[in-house]
Structure 1
Amino acid sequence: MAEPITRRRAMTIMAAAAGLPLIPFAGAALAAAGPVVWKGQALGAPATLVLNHPDRAKAERLVVRVVSEVDRLESVFSLYRKNSALTELNLMGALAAPPGELVALLATCHEAWKTSGGAFDPSVQPLWSLYARHFSKKGSDPAGPSRQQLDETLPLVDFSRVRFNRDRIALPRAGMALTLNGIAQGYITDRVVALLRAEGVTSSLVSMGESRAIGAKADGSPWRIGLGETEDEATPDTVAAIIDRAVATSSASGFHFDTAARFGHILDPRLGSTAPKYRRMTVIAPDATTADAYSTAFSLLEPDAIRAILDFERDISVDLAMVSGDRLRLGRPVDIR
Structure 2
Amino acid sequence: MTTALSRRRFIGISAAAAGMSLLPLAAGHAAMNDPNIHVWRGFALGAPARVILHHSDTAGAQRLFGEIAAETRRLEAIFSLFQPGSEISTLNRTGALANPSSDMVALLARCRTIHAESGGLFDPTVQPLWTCLARHFSAEGADPRGPAAEEMRRALGQIGFKAVRFNADRIAFGRRSMALTLNGVAQGYITDRIAELLARRGLTRSLVNMGEYRALATKPDGTPWRIGLSVLETDTTPDITVDIENQALATSSAQGFRFDPDGRFNHLLNPKTGLSATLYSHLTVVAPNATDADAWATAFSLMTPDEIRAALPRLGGVAVHLKSVNGDLMHIDA
What's the TM-score, normalizing by structure 1?
A: 0.88
SS at match of 2:243: strand
Identity of aligned residues (%): 48
Displacement, 1:6?
Answer: 6.2
The 8 Å contact of residues 7 and 254 in structure 1, kept in 2 or not, is answered as no
1:185 is matched with 187
AA aligned to 1:58 is G
Verify the 8 A CA contact 1:183 1:292 in the aligned structure 2.
yes
Local SS of the residue matching 1:156? coil
What are the ranges of 5 or more consecutive residues in structure 2 without an aligned counterpart? 10-20
- What are the Cα deviations for residues 294-321 of structure 1, in whole angstroms up to 9, with x where unaligned? 0100000122221221121231111111
Q: Is the 8 A contact 1:317 1:330 kept in 2?
A: yes
SS in 1 for 2:74: helix
Q: Which stretch has the larger CA shift, 247-256 or 259-268?
A: 259-268
Alignment of 1:200 onto 2:202: yes
- Deviation string 1:210-245 (CA, Å, 9 cap, x unpaired) is 111100111111110112334554322110111111
Structure-2 residue corresponding to 1:67: 69
Q: For residue 318 of structure 1, what is the aligned residue in structure 2?
A: 320
Instruction: Provide the rounded CA distance (Å) in 2 between the counterparts of 1:188 and 1:208.
Output: 7
Per the TM alignment, residue 46 of structure 1 is displaced from its structure 2 partner at its CA by: 3.3
Equivalent in 307, 310, 331 of residue 309 of structure 2:
307
Distance of 2:110 and 2:141 partners within structure 1? 40
Match of 1:209 among 208, 211, 216: 211
Cα distance in 2 between the residues matched to 1:13 and 1:104? 29
* SS of structure 1 residue aligned to 2:140: coil
1:13·1:51 contact (CA, 8 Å) conserved in 2?
no
Residue 149 (1) aligns with residue 151 (2): yes
- The alignment status of 1:24 with 2:12, answered yes or no, reads no
Q: Distance in 2 between matches of 1:276 and 1:123?
A: 21
CA distance in 1 between counterparts of 2:56 and 2:193 reads 24
SS in 1 for 2:269: coil
Deviates more, 1:254-263 or 1:198-207: 254-263
Give 1:281's aligned residue.
283
Return the offset for 1:72.
0.3
Task: Provide the secondary structure at the position in 1 that maps to 2:226.
Answer: strand
2:331 corresponds to 1:329: yes
Q: Which residue of 1 aligns with 2:16?
A: none
Task: Provide the residue aligned with 1:291 in structure 2.
Answer: 293
Give the 3-state SS of the residue equivalent to 1:311 in structure 2. helix
1:109 aligns with 2:111: yes
Distance change (3 Å), C-alpha of 1:213 and 1:175: same
Name the CA distance, whole Å, in 1 between partners of 2:24 and 2:206.
6
Deviates more, 1:302-311 or 1:174-183: 302-311
Which letter does structure 2 place at the counterpart of 1:254?
G
The aligned length equals 320
Asked if the contact 1:13–1:50 (Cα under 8 Å) also holds between the matched residues in 2, the reply is no
Q: Tell me how far apart the structure 2 counterparts of residues 135 and 13 of structure 1 sit (CA, whole Å).
A: 35
**Aligned to 2:314, what secondary structure does the other structure show?**
coil
1:310/1:7 Cα in 2 relative to 1: closer, same or farther (>3 Å)?
A: same
Counterpart residue type for residue 139 of structure 1: G
Q: Distance in 2 between matches of 1:227 and 1:38?
A: 19
> Is the 1:247–1:283 contact (alpha carbons within 8 Å) kept by the matching residues of 2?
yes
* Larger gyration radius, structure 1 or structure 2: 1
Q: Aligned equivalents of 1:132 and 1:121: distance in 2?
A: 18
Q: Distance in 1 between matches of 2:217 and 2:23?
A: 16
Aligned position for 1:335: none
Provide the secondary structure at the position in 2 that maps to 1:279. Answer: strand
From the superposition, tell whether residues 80 and 294 of structure 1 become closer, same or farther in structure 2 (CA, over 3 Å).
same
